[in-house]
Every structure is written in C-alpha cells, then in structure tokens.
Structure 1
C-alpha cells in the first residue's frame, strides 16, 4: 500500500498475515465507555428519520429492514465512525488506498431471536436477486470488507458472530440462484441443532452442493466488548448464535461495508428490492473514506453543512 498521511492504524505485518490467513481480525475502534455514552445519545437521535434517505416517502413499498440502511448519510456519529482512521487505515491496508463505504446497516438481536444462517456474500445478489457490487473482471477477489462494530456487548449467549477461519477463498453458495422470501419461517427453523434463519430466507437454497454442511467444529465465536470491531471478508463463512434470552438486553452491531473505488456499486439499478420491500436509490451515494475516486461509474455522496453529514445523490 502506498504510504499516506493516514497510515497510523494500518495493519502491521503480523496483523496483515493473520488477516490473509484467517479472513478476519479484531480491534478496538472506541473505548467501551465512549461507545456506551455515545449510544445512549445516538439511539434517540436515530429515531428522527426526517433526513434518512430511505424514509416512508422514499420507500417504494414494504415495511422492511432495508429502510434503515445507510444511516451514516444523515447521522454525524455514524458518519464519523465510517471515517474513523482506526477503521479506514486498516481497510485500506487490504483494499488499497482508494476506498468507498457503499453500505452500512444495523444488526440488532433481541431476546429469543434466532441465529443467522451460515452464509457468504460476493455480489450481494443473495437476497435482492441482482448484483449490488461488481469488482472489475480481472480482480482476484470479490465481495466487500465488512467492519462489524459492537455497539453493545456481543457474547455467545446474546448472539455474537461466528466465523470459520480461512473459508473466504471458496464460495459455497451461488448468488445467481433465487431464495424464497417467507417471513413466517422466522424463528421457526432448526439447523444443525440450532435455531437459525436469514431474515425470512433460507440460505441453504443458494448452496452449490445441496449436501454441503458447514463444519461448525471449526467455527470461532466473535465475543466483543462495546467499541470493539471485527473486520472480515464478506466471502468468509459467517453466522451468528441465537439470543438465548438469559438477559433482556439487545445485542447490537453496526456493519460498515467497504470496496475499492473501481468496484461498480448498484450497477444498472435504481431500486433495491429484498426482504419483502423496495427502496429507491434516488438519494443514495457511496462515501469516499480513503484516497481518491478516479472513476465516474458510482453515485458519490459529498460532504455538506446543511444539517446532515452528506449531500446524497
């Protein structure tokens, strides 16, 4: 990676080796007390959706979790988080200097919620049926770098992530297949002895080999304190435990997704349709978090001073 003025938190040689071997690393973004203090304020601020780009006025149809994507575009705390050099320096260590944040989303898990299916994502066509990111054809890799930041404690009991180390180099799922959306199956399925689902889908429907079973004996739990993060390839086999209900506290993670600027984001589409709903991309824009953008094929959000962090579209 080219040396830049923002390389303070770039991966060390040891961390870089660990990342390429495992497909993930963990690190601290904010001090625990800082995250807890900030979240007490921001959880209230985020209830105001007047500047959110996917409000009811912009939703084409459906009451769906995709309406809560990309709140970094209207919330200062989340905008600062995706631009935090503790994150962006590490991401640029892997993707190269020129990096876009193309999506963020919250992942809450409430007492009694099922775990998430084992899955991998390359083009993110898994739920929408259309590729949402496409790397250049000569690229060695695809997918995205996800930084999953714990806003609350994440434990095995309350549904932390699980990873299968080293599994990011081979896709076990075909994202050109179609999954059937059936919200009535939520919290109703047991897979390999554990309650798992995929927000109304069954990810097994995308398996290349219908007899494939993830080797859960190789899985490691991502136990995180508030303010800590796991950075991983989206093509890494990952899942989450169910929330056991032993505590009444919600587990909350915030996923920031990053790609090189050369990647095509939402190619040839103006609407995202998944999870039983649709949202318009009319106000969407990716955010340049590192380096320069030398391409003109993506919608880019720019900084503004008009009451929210970015001017969309």
Structure 2
C-alpha cells in the first residue's frame, strides 16, 4: 500500500525551519484553515461527533464519555477528521521530519471548559505513561529517537485565558520521566490540585510520579505560551516538555485542540496489545487501524485502515 505525495510538497519545512525544529523541538504556529473556515467546520462537525454509533471504540469507557479514551481516533468514523489528518499542510511538514513513509497512529481531542485545570508538565516517549505498557516502539538501532510527532490544531481560540499549550524549548532530547513507573489514577484529583500555585493535573493522574529525580522541577522561567487562532496548528516532538494553562473562565467558550500523532512506518504501534487500559477505562483495538498518510508501508507489521467505519476512504494524495 502506498500514498503518492504531491509533486511539489508545497508545505514541506525549509532547511531553516528544520534547523529551528531540531533545536527547539517544535515549529509553528502555521495555518491549516482560515479562522472562519475552522469555525464553520467545528459548528457543523461537533453535532455529528455526538453520534458514536460508528466509533471504533464502543466499550464502557468510550461510551460513558467521562474518560480521555473517549476522545481517541474519531478520524476513523468522521470524514472531516479523516481529511484533516492527511491534509498537505500537515502531512508535508510531518514527512519533512520523519521521512516519506508516515503513519497517523492516533488522534485525540483535548477540550478545556471554563474553569478547567491546566495539564501537568510532561513528556511522552513510548506512551506507557498511563497504561504501563508501550504503545509505540521504534526499531532497534534508533536509540537516539523516540516519541511521536504531534500536530495540535486549535479548533477554537487557544490563548492564555482559555488554557493554551506551553512549551519549554529544547527539552526534547532528554527524558526527565521514567515511563516504566506507574502513575495512580484517581478521578477525584481532577480540578482539585495546585502545583506551584497553578491548578494543574493529568486527567486523574499526577505526572510527577514518573520523575526520574523526585526533587527535579521543570524550569518554568523558560516556558513559552503557544497562542493560536482557530485553524492554526503547531508541530512538536512528544518528548518536548509541554503543559497547558488552566481555563480562567472569563469566557464561556471552551478551548478545543485536536492532536494527530505521527510516526514512521518502521515504528511498531500497540505491539502485542489487544486492549488499551488507562484513565479508568479500557477499549478494545479490534476495529483499530493506523492511517498511512504519506509514502508506503514497507514493513507490514502494523494494522492499517483504508477507510473510515462510515465508508469514507482516506484521501490519497495524487
């Protein structure tokens, strides 16, 4: 199976942008949609997404809607989101970093409602942080690599009032957390903790439990807010130290981000895993498939999706 790239790769990163990305661990924001276009898309799509009848995750946790797993992989039943994860504005930039053969292995919504806490400072390499089991594994011989490329798109206003992302530039090459440790889930923590005077949590976990050095603290004096308009996106390594601010509640508009996560086809996705258990729930991977967004799959060790569960074929870039 292959995806033919556009001839000119109009949105590929320039040499200067690649240099900046490798130094800082992120690039952007950049425009994926016009502001009003994004607002129109979301007004229409948020109604459609309320219908979970064709969602690939139909377990108790997904149906209840009160666990983070319920936000996973809606591109597999939404034509709009299927188009989004393969858009040239995104795929060209991702393949500039990862090479020509690229999978989208997960997507997630990140809503933040008025009054919601911010998200803990964290890094993710194998994504074993919540379940205790690696969800992506890079091949042997690539020890200098790890994590995933995340493209986080603002579907609504993301600023310091509504709870935008924060990055600590240049922290993506050193892991300060040990994902083989286990965090302890407690939903009563949500919206009830302060860390250094800021309301922060991690969806019922405390990410500090994974610190290699329990006395270490991230240098928040170096933190940079990622303010984005609707339709803008930012591309970053998941190993970059990142967090988000609380939603101050001075506006009633939710802050909504949508993250696509990308790896080369050489990476094993959900190795030896049939069920994902985290955030107080579990979902079966029986209907799951990664999406080839660029190039071809020469490895055949990951299950691929060729169309959504509603019969919409993933766009092939001619």
Q: Which bin holds the TM-score, normalised by the shorter protein?
A: over 0.9
Structure 1 pair 305–216 and aligned structure 2 pair: CA distance change class (3 A): closer
Q: Which one of the candidate residues 7, 18, 26 is aligned to 2:20?
A: 18
Q: Is the 8 A contact 2:78 2:310 kept in 1?
A: no
SS in 1 for 2:216: coil
Describe the superposition over 1:29-71 as per-residue Cα deviations: whole angstroms up to 9, x where unpaired.
1111110011110000111111110124796999522023100
| 2:232 is aligned with 1:228 | yes
Structure 1 pair 226–213 and aligned structure 2 pair: CA distance change class (3 A): same
Q: Is the 8 A contact 1:61 1:278 kept in 2?
A: no
Structure 1 pair 294–120 and aligned structure 2 pair: CA distance change class (3 A): same
* 2:101 paired residue number: 98
Q: Is the 8 A contact 2:118 2:245 kept in 1?
A: yes
Q: Which one of the candidate residues 148, 154, 177 is aligned to 1:144?
A: 148
* 1:168 paired residue number: 172
Deviation at 1:188, TM superposition (A): 1.2
Structure 1 pair 6–71 and aligned structure 2 pair: CA distance change class (3 A): farther
Q: C-alpha root-mean-square deviation of aligned residues, in Å?
A: 1.8
* 1:194 paired residue number: 198
* 1:129 paired residue number: 132
| 2:160 is aligned with 1:156 | yes
**Larger deviation, residues 135-144 vs 3-12:** 3-12
Q: Which one of the candidate residues 46, 49, 55 is aligned to 1:46?
A: 49
Deviation at 1:189, TM superposition (A): 1.0
Describe the superposition over 1:271-301 as per-residue Cα deviations: whole angstroms up to 9, x where unpaired.
0000000000000000000000011211110
Q: Which one of the candidate residues 299, 302, 316 is aligned to 1:298?
A: 302
Describe the superposition over 1:182-209 as per-residue Cα deviations: whole angstroms up to 9, x where unpaired.
1101111111110100000000000000
Aligned equivalents of 1:305 and 1:208: distance in 2?
41
Structure 1 pair 275–57 and aligned structure 2 pair: CA distance change class (3 A): closer
Q: Is the 8 A contact 1:148 1:254 kept in 2?
A: yes
Structure 1 unaligned regions, length at least 5: none
Q: Is the 8 A contact 2:78 2:308 kept in 1?
A: no
* 2:120 paired residue number: 117
TM-score (norm 2): 0.93
Describe the superposition over 1:95-150 as per-residue Cα deviations: whole angstroms up to 9, x where unpaired.
00000000000000001100000000000000111000000121121000000000
TM-score (norm 1): 0.95
Q: How does 1:33-72 map to 2 (within 5 A)?
A: 33-56=36-59, 63-72=66-75
